[in-house]
Amino acid sequence: MARRHYNLPPLTALAAFETAARLPGFKRAADELNVTPGAVSHQIRALEADLGVALFHRRGRGVDLTPEGERLFRCLTEAFRGLADVTGSLRTAGRDKAVTIGATSAVSALWLTPRISEFWREHPDIAVSQHISDRDLDRPLGLDLHIRYGGADLADRGGELLFEDRLVPVCAPRYAEDRPVATLADLAACHLIHMPAEDTSWTTWWSWFATLGYDGPLTEAHSVNNYTIALQVARDGGGVVLGWRRLIQPLIDDGALIVYGSWEVPAPIALYILADADLDGTARTLRDWLVTAV
């Protein structure tokens, strides 16, 4: 009979022998292997015939290992333990390989994190590690995926469009009750929460009003450099913030913020997800899920 590279007996016979020797007994081995005792006995007799030695002393209903059986059992125990250690570490390494995804604090809190929670319900075996940064990092190192606002150039670089948005004024309900607005001039006179940014594609109050044809004065009493904080100031009744409607929809849905007035402007840029060039299967699964789950 043709042999494989290591000239070993059939592995099924070796597994049956190891189980019967460890437990010991053919019936208990059959229970663990989910076969009949006759099948275990057949495998061991075939192994003994292959080796040309007896591995068990058969005494009535009991069996004991022969010296040759003891020798083979010790060898198999050591080999199987080594295999268990290696395969266990490989399984752990596979589970522990987290997909790293970067986003701003606002995108993470309002859009990404709730969706990752949904993703885990469908893919509980895929770990996801978030890298949160509000700096304008074009492609941070060490990330599998990166979510950022940008234009069509991101699509040219392989980015997948997540969604486009519209810009609306938002504030706390009690702020709107105390200060009804009818015109853009009324809105411009409110406590506008400004957010300066180095990125020229970021829409400011000045550019938003200009798009609507208003060129009058704007209040500039309040300014913060973090969008999450700007939203919190508005939630606390501190003024009106420019809201990316789809991004902040959870805050509108729970009543923390309301749309103030009827003005809106299409966002000049959109939310894209960019991927590392060497995207593995788990990262690809998360990217494709996010693209279709928006």
**pTM greater than the 0.85 cutoff:** no
For residue 282, report the phi and psi dihedrals to the nearest 5 degrees. Answer: -70, -40
Higher pLDDT, 259 or 202: 259
Question: Is residue 104 located within the same domain as residue 155?
Answer: yes
In angstroms, how far is CA 91 from the centroid of its own chain?
Answer: 18
CB 158 within 8 A of CB 274: yes
Same domain, 172 and 259: yes
Residue 3 located in a structural domain? no
Cis, peptide link before residue 24, omega less than 30° from 0: yes
Do 236 and 170 have their domain in common? yes
- Phi and psi angles of residue 149, each rounded to the nearest 5 degrees, phi first: -80, 145
The answer to whether residue 1 is domain-embedded is: no
| 6 occurs within a structural domain | no
Confidence of residue 1 (pLDDT cuts 50, 70, 90): very low
Could you give the number of structural domains in the chain?
3
**Does any domain span residue 21?**
yes
Q: How far is Cα 199 from Cα 196, in angstroms, rounded to an integer?
A: 9
End-to-end alpha-carbon separation of the chain, Å? 59
Do 101 and 145 contact (CB within 8 A), yes or no? yes
**Domain around 126:** 99-162+270-292
Give the confidence band of 136 by pLDDT, cuts at 50, 70, 90. low
Same domain, 33 and 63: yes
Residues 81 and 105 in one domain: no
Establish how many alpha carbons lie within 13 A of residue 29's alpha carbon, considering only the half-sphere containing its beta carbon: 25
- For 23-49, what is the mean pLDDT? 90
Query: Which residues are within 8 A (CB) of 109 and not within 5 positions of it... i.e. 6 or more apart?
Result: 228
Q: What does the pLDDT look like over 156-176, one tens digit per residue?
A: 888 899 999 999 999 999 999
pLDDT at 181 (0 to 100): 92
- pLDDT value of position 210: 95
Q: Does residue 2 lie in a domain region? A: no
Q: What pLDDT does 19 receive?
A: 92
Check: CB of residue 86 under 8 Å from CB of residue 27. Answer: no
Rounded mean pLDDT of 51-64?
A: 86
CATH of the domain at 113: 3.40.190.10
What's the per-residue H, E or C state across the chain?
CCCCCCCCCCHHHHHHHHHHHHCCCHHHHHHHHCCCHHHHHHHHHHHHHHHCCCCEEEECCEEEECHHHHHHHHHHHHHHHHHHHHHHHHHHHHHHCCEEEEECHHHHHHHHHHHHHHHHHHCCCCCEEEEECCCCCCCCCCCCEEEEEECHHHHHCCCEEEECCEEEEEECHHHHHHCCCCCHHHHHCCCEEECCCCCCCCCCHHHHHHHCCCCCCCCCCEECCCHHHHHHHHHCCCCEEEEECCCCHHHHHCCCCEECCCCCEECCCEEEEEECCCCCHHHHHHHHHHHHCC
Dihedral (CA of 222, 223, 226, 227) sign: positive
Residue written as tokens 């607005």?
A: 181
Inform me whether the pLDDT recorded for 88 exceeds 70. Answer: no
* Token couple for 266: 């299409």
Query: Mean pLDDT of all residues in the chain?
Result: 87
* Sign of CA pseudo-dihedral 171, 177, 179, 181: positive
Torsion, Cα 3 4 6 11, to 10 degrees, reads: -90
Summarize pLDDT for 62-87 with one digit per residue, the tens: 788 999 999 999 999 899 888 877 77
